[in-house]
Amino acid sequence: MKKTTIFITIIIFLAIGSAQAQYKLGVGLRLNYGYGLSIKYNMSRSKAFEGILYSRWRGINLTGLYEVHQTAFKVNTWRWYYGVGGHVGYWGNGNRYGNPWFDNNNNNTILGADGILGLEHTFKEIPLNLSIDWKPAFNIIGYTGLWLDDIALTARLAIK
């Protein structure tokens, strides 16, 4: 924990000169039912690509999303967004890991489609971007089904 705090503090001081409402690259932590890493690249004011790497049921998922952003509340520092993408991942053995939906003890490699709907705020004073989003997913291969439980809070270092 101490090393993580020191690392984040150093990154913030390195990027402090680039604090602004519109950022080019955001790197940070995604918190939902587990922990993850989010990297968002803003191609323009209204278009972005986000990559998410996170754990779930003793496995790992990689998600790529294309997002469309628009100003929210008529305030430049607030944006709402929506988008689509896909994921690939691996989930561990059934009930052994506390997943009540698995009815077997098989490992599952998954592939599917994702959507996202969210709201974000980028601070002008410090290089910090916070977002909350809902990311439904549908597994096409592997443990198939619709997953509607992914609501997350993400904190990103906003880099110019």
Q: Reduced to 3 states, what is the DSSP secondary structure of residue 103?
A: coil
* pLDDT > 70 fraction of the chain, expressed in percent and rounded: 77
pLDDT at 53: 96
Query: Closest by alpha carbon to 128, among 43, 15, 10?
Result: 15
Q: Which of the two residues, 123 and 7, has the higher pLDDT score?
A: 123
pLDDT at 78: 95
pLDDT at 145: 84
Average pLDDT, the chain: 84
Q: Which of 6-20, 95-109, 113-127, 133-147 has the highest mean pLDDT?
A: 113-127
pLDDT at 86: 97
Tell whether the torsion through CA atoms of 32, 80, 88 and 62 is positive or negative. Answer: negative
138 within 8 A of 112, measured Cβ to Cβ: yes
**DSSP string over 2-62:** HHHHHHHHHHHHHHGGG--SS-SEEEEEEESSSEEEEEEEESSSSEEEEEEEEEETTEEEE
Count: domains in the chain: 1
Burial of 6 (0-12, 13-18, 19+ CB in 10 A): exposed
Tokens standing for 54?
């996170």
95 has pLDDT over 60: no
pLDDT at 99: 55
Assign residue 124 the CATH number of its domain.
2.40.160.20
Residues spanned by the domain of 131: 2-159
pLDDT at 115: 98
With cut-offs at 50, 70 and 90, classify the pLDDT of residue 15: very low
pLDDT tens by residue, 124-151: 999 999 999 999 999 998 878 898 988 9
Global pTM? 0.79
Angle (nearest 5°) at CA 103 between 98 and 104: 90
With cut-offs at 50, 70 and 90, classify the pLDDT of residue 13: very low
Q: What is the DSSP letter of 123?
A: -
